[in-house]
Structure formats: C-alpha cells, structure tokens
Amino acid sequence: MLAFEAQGDEQARSGQQQRARQQQGDSTGDPTPHDRLSPPAARLPRGGTTLQVGRRAGTRPARVRGLGCRAMTDSGAAAASPGPPADARWWGLREELLVFLGCSLAALAAVQGLGRLPYVGPYAQELAELVFLLVPFWVIERRGELVEDYGFHLHHGWRAAALAVLFMVVTFGPFIVGFEWWWEPRRSFRFDRLPPDFWNVAVAQFLVVALPEEALFRGYLQTRLERRFPSRRRRGIPVGWAIPATSVLFAIGHFVVIPDPARLAVFFPSLLFGLLRHWSGGLLAPVLFHGACNVLGDTLYFGYFG
C-alpha cells in the first residue's frame, strides 16, 4: 500500500515538472513538441485559430505597374520587387520593337506606296503620322494602363511651355549659325521667299508631325524603356539607356521612310526632346519644342533657298 502511494506521488510530481517545463518554454520562446513536429509555414496557434500555409499574415498580392509581375505587400503597402536580370529586360523589349517596326513599315508604305496614288498621295504623310498617334493609344489601352502615365496630359502646362521656350532661346541661335555654316547659302535671308500658305505648314508641323511622333517615341517608347532601364540622375541630368535608345529608334525611323543619311542627324535634337519629356513629365514640352524646331528649319530653308 505504501509503495503504491509513493509511486502515485512520483507520477504526480513528474506531471507537474513536465507542465512547468512547457510553461517555461512558452515564456522563453523555446520550441514545443507541437512546433518541432510542424513545419514553420503550417504551425497552428494554441488558441485554435488557423493560419494560411506558406504566407505571412497581413499580406496580399499587389500588381506592380510597369513590371508585369506580382509582389507581396504588408498591410496594403506596395513593396518593390527586384527587377529582372539585364538579359531578360532586353529580351522583354519584343513589344516595343514590334510597335516601332510596325509603325515604321506603315509609314514607309504610306509615303512610298500611297504617295504615288492620285487623290491619296498628297495626304500620305498625314496617314503615316496618324498611325504614329493611334497605335500607342491602342497598345496602352490593351495593356490596361492609363494614357496619362505615358505623358498624355496637360498637368503643369504653363511650366512645360516655359521649359520649351527656354530650350528655344538656348538652342535656336546656335542652330541658325550652324545652318548657315553647313549649307553656305549664296543669298541673304528674306521673309518674302516664304510660301503664301506657310502658316498652314507651321500649324501642320505641330499637329501633324510633332504630336504623332512624340506620342510614339517620347510617349510610348521612352516611357517603356525608362521602366525597364531606370535612369540615374547626375546633377539633375538623367543618365541611362532610355533617352539614347529612343533617339536611335527615332533616327532609324526617319531613315527607313526616306533613306537619306542626313536624316540620321535627327538623333541629336531627339536627345533634347527626351530631356524635355523627362523633366516636364509630359508630352506638351517636347511637342512644342519639336514643332518649333521644324518651323525654324522650314523658315530658314525657304528664306534662303525659296
């Protein structure tokens, strides 16, 4: 009888010691047998509430715009995911290159093909530029994105216009000097050599030429390249691939339509158009500066050689 009572007392003391060790493990964070037998992603709280397996509480998948992937965010806050490797980013340019090639071939067909047809020929260039304007809108809508994110807005319009005017003041003087030095005109400049419908030509340079080309190159292409290859800023100047690569495509597009090596020189003003797009955040400044450059070129050409 005494031996049986002693054995019962020993079992009771052993149970108390085991419960004490479990309580001590809970307070110090040591793993319990339940934790040791369960993988970290599938552990259940002792209160009986289930947790999601393999996913942290308070997280949700969020669409990271411009990257085409999903990232986990805590409490609704967006988390930046590491970008793809460089070779994957270059390979991911299929869409941008297809858009560029499609628009360039359409412009080539319009100018070289439709340009020779009666009635349609005088409007061949307008049809080509219309493709430049509509295709970016169509691609952006198919991507489910906002056209405002590609620069199609008038936010801070006065500031954008002032920036374009500043670029005109700084660059037009050297351009006139360079034009006279390169072409060596034998006659002096005269405004009366301008054609009678020159104002119509000037308006067309803004609405029919500058706007569609900026929509395609600075609106769609530069924005897409900037997302894939973000620029770094050094003393306020963006340094990266987006602006030079867009300018290369801009020059190639001009050369494809009219194969004249001199048309490759548009690479250099394209760099300025890209800077205006980057600094202003929209397309208004590059469209104004682009159109003004074309008008200045036509004015000098007709004034000297008209």
How high is the pLDDT of residue 16? 62
Mean pLDDT of all residues belonging to the chain: 80
pLDDT tier, 113 (very low <50, low <70, confident <90, very high otherwise): confident
How high is the pLDDT of residue 127? 86
pTM of the model: 0.71
At 93, the amino acid letter reads L
Task: List, as one string, the DSSP characters of 198-223.
Answer: HHHHHHHIIIIIIHHHHIIIIIIIHH
How high is the pLDDT of residue 21? 61
Higher-pLDDT residue of 70, 45: 45
How far apart CA 7 and CA 1 sit, in angstroms, is: 10
Q: Please give the average per-residue pLDDT across 183-205, as a whole number.
A: 93
DSSP summary character for residue 187:
S
* Sequence-separated (6 or more) residues with CB below 8 Å from residue 237: 275
Q: In 3-state terms, what secondary structure has residue 269?
A: helix
Higher-pLDDT residue of 141, 39: 141
